[in-house]
Amino acid sequence: MAEHYRFFDSTADDERVYTADEFAEYFRRVLTDGIFNGGTNLKVETSGTDIRTYIQPGYAWVQGYMYKIDTEPLYLQHEYPDPNLDRIDRVVIRLDKRLEHRYVRAFILKGTPATSPVPPLLTRDENVFELSLAQVRIIKGKSYIEGSQITDERLNNSVCGLVNSLIQADTTTIFNQFQHWYNSRTTAYQKEWGDWFATAVTRFEQEWQEWLSNLGAKTPVISVNGKSGSVTLSAADVGATPASHAGSGGNAHPLATTTTAGFMSGPDKKRLDEHIGAGGTAHAVATTTIAGFMSGPDKKRLDEHIGAGGTAHNLATTTTAGFMDPVDKDELQALRKYRSGMDSATDVYTTVEYKRKDGTLLMRSVLSSKVGNNYTVDTRTFYGLNGTTVRRTEIYDITYDTNGNPVNEVLR
């Protein structure tokens, strides 16, 4: 059986040459794969303005080989989204030992668009080994990536994890000794608790019975409020309210007047219930010239925005006048236009954004499905007042003449 040993210096008569993988094998016996520490070490993030993600500086360990991003974040470009279906990409660190490659680098594994998309599988064989730093959900028709679309996988041991030592002591004997001590002490503590509880219950029952017995020995009343013998007690003697509701002066509360508080009289209560004034006349229903109570039909018409003709106001359409819809009002305001994503081959901006005066996004137009030098699909996404909630998405098919000029944009 062959013996292997390393590493030793060479001599003039005995040259010792070692491969990079032999050094990596040495370290594979000491450390596990993964990233060093946590925090922002190789964390995947996004600026939220385009279709790129970036990896923060840090270190990783892949099958005995070191990977490092130094000083500045590393930016990676994702492919543009499918107009109809979401997909899930993965940001990975790939070790490739094949002779034509021989590197450890960051890549994006593109997912497959689907109704229920799943992340692409990692490659792990004798030449290629990948660690996944994050999953990135690419939303259909959306030309930028937000932080909520990124799922951090650095601490998932099945796809990445933290670097740990493979050198460990056998603690089985120590654990078994502790477990034996723990079980014996638990049994002793349970017995002590049961004995104490039984004694406490017995003592409590005795004290309770003694208290009840003492309560039954009634003490006769000698005097009440300074009066003794055979006396007649008044409400004041026991702190009760007089039957007549009399005050401390001995007089009953008088009826209320316009200047003095008191009890409400029966006639006042009746007038209050009927909304009747001092003159004895109920308030009349209001007319177009005289103030008064609002009638039920008037209240109903007011609630329904009904005019004198008896018809409710509807929202305006392209052929009928009416109230303006808030969405129409939002989309008619003055907008600011921003272009990005220049295609250097055609001098065409592939993304155009329209923003409100307050800077929130109203609509984003993204060109895709390039055929030759022409983009054949325009995906327009409209957003609510907060600039992030999608109101609707419109997809237009673009056709061109023989000179490459766009002639038609047809809504699907």
For the stretch 110-158, pLDDT in tens is 999 999 999 999 999 999 999 999 999 999 999 999 999 999 999 999 9
pLDDT in tens, 249-287: 455 677 888 888 888 888 888 877 776 655 556 677 778
The yes or no reply on domain 20-152 and CATH 2.60.520 is yes
Give 258 or 318, the one with higher predicted confidence.
258
Per-residue pLDDT for 245 more than 80?
A: no
Q: What pLDDT sits at residue 360?
A: 92
Q: What pLDDT sits at residue 268?
A: 83
The share of the chain scoring above pLDDT 90, in percent, equals 45
pLDDT in tens, 83-108: 999 999 999 999 999 999 999 999 99
Per-residue pLDDT for 218 more than 60?
A: no
Q: What pLDDT sits at residue 167?
A: 67
Q: What pLDDT sits at residue 317?
A: 77
Per-residue pLDDT for 343 more than 70?
A: yes
Give 152 or 28, the one with higher predicted confidence.
152
pTM over cut 0.85? no
Q: What pLDDT sits at residue 347?
A: 86
Q: What pLDDT sits at residue 249?
A: 47
Q: What pLDDT sits at residue 265?
A: 83
Per-residue pLDDT for 314 more than 90?
A: no
Which 3-state string (H, E, C) describes the chain?
A: CCCCCCCCCCCCCCCCCCCHHHHHHHHHCCECCEECCCCCCCCEECCCCCCEEEECCEEEEECCEEEEECCCCEEEECCCCCCCCEEEEEEEEEEECCCCCCEEEEEEECCCCECCCCCCCCCECCCEEEEEEEEEEECCCCCCCCHHHEEECCCCCCCCCECCECCCCCCHHHHHHHHHHHHHHHHHHHHHHHHHHHHHHHHHHHHHHHHHHHHHCCCCCCEECCEECCCCCCCHHHCCCCCCCECCCCCECCECCCCCCCECCHHHHHHHHHCECCCCCECCECCCCCCCECCHHHHHHHHCCECCCCCECCECCCCCCCECCHHHHHHHCCCEEEEEEEECCCCEEEEEEEECCCCCEEEEEEEEEEECCEEEEEEEEEECCCCCCEEEEEEEEEEECCCCCEEEEEEC
pLDDT in tens, 355-377: 988 889 999 999 999 998 899 99
* Domain parsing of the chain, residue ranges: 20-152, 263-314, 328-411
User: Using 50, 70 and 90 to split pLDDT, how confident is the model at 220?
Assistant: low
Per-residue pLDDT for 246 more than 60?
A: no
